[in-house]
Structure 1
């Protein structure tokens, strides 16, 4: 490494540490790599997204940090899945070879056994001596022992394979658990929501933030009537409409089941309610077609509860207040936003 490159790299690192401290970003290796790429202007798209986040929220959340790192720097999730696939391939190859060897040993023993029975048949026909008879039996016993060893080894391999499969399943499950997005809808999941909300509460944006809890109306009845496949389509379309509205720092999450959440930075209660009303009206216009009957289903609506974060309150209390407003919206007839501002 030349002195010029070393000096340049050192200069970048000296810029990274103050930025991590300024925006209260944990000094983890992935974050170092992420912000090093940022100060080096090595990825314009990455720099743009970081600048937008800082402008809207005053920081870079753990959720966004992880996503940007995975997308622009390392993509560790793909590595985890690749490792899982390679492990399965190696396991299948090893088990295939072991099974092939065992089948060969079985065929050999079968051949030995056939010859032994043929020779034993001669005992009565040709009056073989005792020594010749014992030799024939010993040969069969030897073949049996060899096959037993082969099958015992195969059994041991199966036990080892079972352990390896369990380990690989845990690896894949961990990769899935660490993922930021909901598998069905593609938007952020509950894990991402919890992380983001905790970060916002620890360092609220300059103008605070609001939490929106959204619940599809009569969704259980919809599933019972039209089936879960149609229900999944509704969830996907709802998530798509929420994603389309995600700008100016707003993020949407699948909170659980038919419930979604949005975190709206730099919006007080009235601003959060306006966002919620726009979303409610948009989803109220959703119409999907039942492929079985060709009938359009336009009875999709959502109820939304809104709460503005109060400085110093617990996350649990904020969620509880938003949930209470959601319950009130349901109680008053659904397809509405509460509170009314």
Structure 2
């Protein structure tokens, strides 16, 4: 049964991903024989590149290369060397799936030749909040003393190490601006040159890449990247085949997440490449949508019946999905995260 403190610990530790990525990957069962970085072919001229458990993509054309999610400076520099050596072509476009630091960092290495593209909501998400900006509604649930900040005493476990990294001024409290900086405000994130709203098509060297905004899910600026000729989509953080959503659904939106998955289901593709873990197939979109819908329905009903978070975590088992990888690891956090999401969003439960 997760306490509020433990729940907050997961969120803060996730924000401090730069210090936890390797240990998390090992804890989640990544094989010790895998190289730290690699490039693998998906189909045709479409490839995925990986560092530990972060995955981006690139498409090779006769006129240049399209990169999706440079990820971080170290990986992006390595990728540029690999692309130069293997293909001898410039990167002409860099597409951002969303504005989180751990996927959008490192793009400057391609700035001499590339145009950077992202969803229009990235523009606001990359703007630093004022120092006195109020906490977001969900963050306010963690603010036990109501002072508008998150104290170190409100976190424990792995969050303590991450907390020290995020607490820029060292005063023992996190402001909205400091929380933002941990997730969105990385100095290595180069803002997009071009923004799109609902749908965009990039054409290069006779090949097409489609950008689809399917609504709010893991973030409110998520781009689903469709490679129509390769019948492949890149879904980064909000759709990971054959797994529940990650832990406490930090920063996500319900019931929008379900609706977003249904829109993905309507696209024409065969292969899913997520931003973490292994590729999957279109059939797994339907399963993920059912899972998120059942999660939302069960938590909403529990709130309506007057049950608290701890009671819902104990009783909402979602046993139809017990075959999913990391079901035991993620289920309790999913329930707790959905509860907080709905309790902090009036009218959604």
TM over 0.5: no
Q: TM range, normalised to the smaller chain?
A: under 0.3
The TM-score normalised by the length of structure 1 is 0.24
Structure with more helix by fraction: 1
The TM-score normalised by the length of structure 2 is 0.24
Larger Rg: 1
Structure with more strand by fraction: 2
